[in-house]
Amino acid sequence: MLTPAEPPGVPLIVAAPAKPIRFWFFGGDQDLFYPNPTIPDGMHDWTLSNALMAKVLAEKGYHYQFLFVRNAKHVDRPTIAQTLPSALEWVWKGYPIP
């Protein structure tokens, strides 16, 4: 059984000290079949979740790059093929972060 260090509901990124790492991620507007009318619970909006993650990373001062991709699905191969080379270059450029 895992015992969390913080009470339930405390966001991990907000509560933890910033790390010297960079994030790169993308979200597609059709990620995991979103919008999915069969799961109207407000928790499966991947587009909104990715936007909120980008906001948290920005507020914490992380170096990140987030792409919102139209007509892309979850781990969309054409999108990855087009963005991965420049993403890898961006992630490692100037590393480590001072």
Question: How do residues 59-87 score in pLDDT, each as one tens digit?
Answer: 999 999 998 888 888 788 888 888 889 89
Question: How many whole angstroms separate alpha carbon 88 and alpha carbon 98?
Answer: 19
> What pLDDT, on the 0 to 100 scale, is given for residue 70?
85
Question: Span 44-51, mean pLDDT?
Answer: 78
Of all residues in the chain, the percent with pLDDT exceeding 70 is 77
Q: Please determine, for residue 53, whether its predicted confidence score (pLDDT) is greater than 80.
A: yes
* pTM score above 0.85: no
Per-residue b/e over 30-69, b at no fewer than 16 CB within 10 Å? bbeebeeeeeeeeebbbbeebeebbeebeeeebbbbbbeb
pLDDT value, residue 44: 66
**Mean local confidence (pLDDT), 42-50:** 73
